[in-house]
Structure 1
């Protein structure tokens, strides 16, 4: 039986243990308090200061004492939801300050939309402090709220909305649908308590399970074929979509970047040291340069890609496959999206996936060799 204390977040009696911080944290020698708040917050860690015994960082406790009940409840519920989604958190004063600040932003942002009697918490499917994602619940519906990083250009967010709407309207793809604010605008700007301005967007909730959460039996040939078709339709939209002058997104797959990463890998010593392996790695920039020289940025090969089109970013909703989380989308080679998904499939599933894709748009005759090249780049 562990020692007992009041949970600093929710106030219930909990067990705690003093230990070194988890190996994945920034400093594994740092003492922490592991809080086991099974009924409410689940499990989390608080940074401590060395002593006999170590004590929870008093700056953390002082900061928590300064919060109101709504903010503490928000931190408690967000911690619970993150833990339920296998996200483990070591809290410092700084990370708690980020959360409390985002509470102010989220509260103000929710008020900018027609979301009455709404509650919100971090999504738990990611813990990106800079671009925090929230679940927003009303009496009748759920939404997602994205707080964009301070300083994000509004055109970058408008470009995201433009592409999502094109996927829905031109590709017939069910994906995130932006919700207008009270003023009719899709993007809201908020600066509560004189904090720096940040943009917020709200999207309709897509119910269902992610592709990655499905059992092997649920991943039927029909579903895999449909997956290939969806990706093909996404790329077909990108190939023909007319982009406004203000459209702005990052570009991926730069020859200079590939060259730099190869040089770092060769110098690191963390690679297969055989002469054959080093020679193959050293030749990667020239092989990629040859690929770029052959294909350039032709629209049938290069265009808007999701970039993170992994199974956890595809929701199966009412029989439809729905790509979500397009935060990283930008300009790149379509092969990148194809590789991201196909590498998660078995050989037999890959064959069905490629068939589904080619029912919509053709792949190059040597696409398997090209995918192998991109697999090498992905490994850098």
Structure 2
């Protein structure tokens, strides 16, 4: 009887990939103290995140990092910043230390062509905010998240990164340079015709406005950079908490705010959510008039990153499903930014 060939990991179905990653999670779990059972796959978009439990050691999540996205120095730096935030009193995922004293492990498994970096974090209670539908609850959540981000950005202004710290930069080059962090939005075939012209005009203006806006310490530093509703857990007793720091890096604080708002923009309750969020951020931190005026710019820049994302992942179901949505929104936000653009943004202090 002829053996059935085993498909390459990257051409295998999502179900088959998930099965192999679960095996990797089982192999990884023994690298940490405790007798862990892999319960279920929580999320598999790029990283694979599994829920684990132990009768004596509680509940944790195990994160298997995608290959090629971050080098080891950047992965370790992510965990360094999370630890710094935890020590400063922020409720962020707490890292578990392995048998070897490290928080980052390397694991191999059959059927997966390369070793993967893996970390283990304490479980945090709650459901993703993307599952919350009540507008009053969303209002309360974003009041709290606004305060949290204001405090996090204030911490970022003071924090001094240790030697060897390396994270991506969501700066002008990382957003609209020739090689943006998430891929070149200009190369997306679906961005064409009038949409492409509108976006190109807005990008040219954004280059000038970012220089004027400045990258002083009051507006540029370490940011979460992926505070979408899926990455905020909400528990009625613990409140909302940011998770998934995989995209954290150096960037404008307003880019963090735009990320939180971007996918709510077409929500019927968007005016309430937006004002609750920005209002609480302003009360707890610093959101001066020039920053308020710049929000349409950063909403547009956030849209560009998603164009790059779908371009570099065109083979995925998510990209096929979301490309037209992202093109339409980018073009519309380009118009909003250009039409409402003030004569001056003002520069941050250095």
**What is the TM-score when the length of structure 2 is the normalising length?**
0.71
SS at match of 1:297: coil
Distance across 1 between alignment mates of 2:138 and 2:64: 36
Is contact 2:139-2:272 (8 Å) kept? no
- In the alignment, is residue 175 of structure 1 matched against residue 175 of structure 2? no
Q: Judging changes above 3 Å, is the alpha-carbon distance between structure 1 residues 293 and 210 closer, same or farther for their aligned structure 2 residues?
A: same
Counterpart pick for 1:374 among 278, 294, 298 = 298
Is contact 2:259-2:299 (8 Å) kept? no
Is contact 1:262-1:284 (8 Å) kept? no
Counterpart pick for 2:65 among 148, 163, 183 = 148
Q: Judging changes above 3 Å, is the alpha-carbon distance between structure 1 residues 95 and 368 closer, same or farther for their aligned structure 2 residues?
A: same
Q: Which has the larger radius of gyration?
A: 1
RMSD value, Cα: 3.2
In the alignment, structure 2 segments of 5+ residues that lack a partner are 179-183, 305-350
Counterpart pick for 2:126 among 208, 217, 223 = 208
Q: Judging changes above 3 Å, is the alpha-carbon distance between structure 1 residues 265 and 210 closer, same or farther for their aligned structure 2 residues?
A: closer
> Deviation string for 1:16-53 (max 9, x for gaps)?
xxxxxxxxxxxxxxxxxxxxxxxxxxxxxxxxxxxxxx
- In the alignment, is residue 316 of structure 1 matched against residue 234 of structure 2? yes
User: Aligned-pair distance for 1:329?
Assistant: 1.3
User: Aligned-pair distance for 1:92?
Assistant: 5.5
Q: Judging changes above 3 Å, is the alpha-carbon distance between structure 1 residues 116 and 367 closer, same or farther for their aligned structure 2 residues?
A: same
Is contact 2:258-2:298 (8 Å) kept? yes
Distance across 2 between alignment mates of 1:266 and 1:296: 32
Per the alignment, residue 283 of structure 2 pairs with 359
In the alignment, structure 1 segments of 5+ residues that lack a partner are 1-57, 65-90
Q: Judging changes above 3 Å, is the alpha-carbon distance between structure 1 residues 287 and 262 closer, same or farther for their aligned structure 2 residues?
A: farther
More strand by share: 1
Is contact 2:157-2:221 (8 Å) kept? yes
- In the alignment, is residue 122 of structure 1 matched against residue 41 of structure 2? yes
Q: Judging changes above 3 Å, is the alpha-carbon distance between structure 1 residues 349 and 106 closer, same or farther for their aligned structure 2 residues?
A: closer
> Deviation string for 1:46-82 (max 9, x for gaps)?
xxxxxxxxxxxx97x6649xxxxxxxxxxxxxxxxxx
Count, aligned residues: 287
**What is the TM-score when the length of structure 1 is the normalising length?**
0.66
Q: Judging changes above 3 Å, is the alpha-carbon distance between structure 1 residues 162 and 134 closer, same or farther for their aligned structure 2 residues?
A: same
Name which structure has the greater RCO, CA cutoff 8 Å, separation 6+.
Answer: 2
